[in-house]
Structure 1
């Protein structure tokens, strides 16, 4: 196992529950909040130091509206301190539900890998070129891609971001579609199909909506007891 714990959860498994503080200060977010009421699209991110995560969170605001229209709620979990997330989203507000998990406990529960930073991994990370979600005219080295997006966003990292990055890198990200009964019906783990070439990629709105529609077409999206 890449993270030394459990393999990633798969469709058909019960989704691990969690209890985490919400960014808007309204209380806590738990998977049990949705049990018997809604399907939920759950996205696990690392800290706000990650420009790919910041881009994906902004993209999710659009996806969230479309998912709500077909009966699916959205929850994003960001791995940073509550105060840091509140400061960020004060200036970049989102209507999407957000929670924080600075210790990555949810990543571990869901088996989202953290690859070991071996010499081979570091060499590949330094030399591989990527173009996540077609952000650039052509692929560029991973660090250059991150630096370009950070400059484009006008984002300035703070000491919390630096501390998060040192503790978290190279933690991967994951997304899960969970039915109203708490069963995972679709999952996507960063780099699972493309290796490091998948760094920074996030499922498109079309991919997420297709998975959600398939959930309802199969009958698994029903809130009726089975």
Structure 2
């Protein structure tokens, strides 16, 4: 299905929008200026920790971070929840990934990551579309069932902040961007851009990210 949306993402060749966000580890702020003129970087925009696909992707991207760094590319994840909520989560699930907090989705908006309009067609498709992100399940399953299955796998229990984030953010999509040392976007991946809702929860593979990063750093 085509996803009706209210924004268009930035394209390769365009300047990366500026941002200044609190660092999840409490070490001040993280900004585009930290990287511009110094190093290319991979920017991954997640939604709140209520999103089971995001929690899994954070772990996957963190595992790719050393290889990206070896290719000369830094990595930054932006998670859409308050810093203290993120700090609580990562206290028990530590990550090497550098993270910034953006509960109001200002970075998603600046980079034009689509937020579908929940039309009747969209809501029907949510009930009928089958997904299998990363081929984890024996066979594709409805989106809500896949989300529940991921939640059971990581034994995650939502808190009040998560529920408030979900009500404010849904159905925001996610996006990933490779930005060169001069601050220009060179590669873009937007959730559901190619396959509609069948691509929900699917993030680029480590090989895809590394291939793009090596081309950027060459």
User: Which residue of structure 2 aligns with residue 99 of structure 1?
Assistant: 100
1:103–1:157 distance in 2 versus 1, CA, 3 Å: same
The normalised TM-score by structure 1 is 0.94
Cα distance in 1 for partners of 2:4, 2:34 equals 31
Alpha-carbon contact 1:115-1:170 (below 8 Å) kept: yes
Alpha-carbon contact 1:3-1:111 (below 8 Å) kept: no
Q: How do 1:29-178 and structure 2 match up within 5 A?
A: 29-178=30-179
Alpha-carbon contact 2:41-2:76 (below 8 Å) kept: yes
The normalised TM-score by structure 2 is 0.97
User: Which residue of structure 2 aligns with residue 222 of structure 1?
Assistant: none
Alpha-carbon contact 2:41-2:180 (below 8 Å) kept: yes
Aligned length: 216
Give the deviation of 1:130 after TM superposition.
0.3
User: Which residue of structure 2 aligns with residue 220 of structure 1?
Assistant: none
Cα distance in 1 for partners of 2:202, 2:175 equals 10
Give the deviation of 1:2 after TM superposition.
4.7
In structure 2, the gaps of 5 or more residues are none
Alpha-carbon contact 1:174-1:187 (below 8 Å) kept: yes
Give the deviation of 1:68 after TM superposition.
0.5
Runs of 4+ in 1 over 4 A off after TM superposition: none
User: Which residue of structure 2 aligns with residue 11 of structure 1?
Assistant: 12
Give the deviation of 1:3 after TM superposition.
4.4
Cα distance in 1 for partners of 2:14, 2:4 equals 20
Give the deviation of 1:35 after TM superposition.
1.0
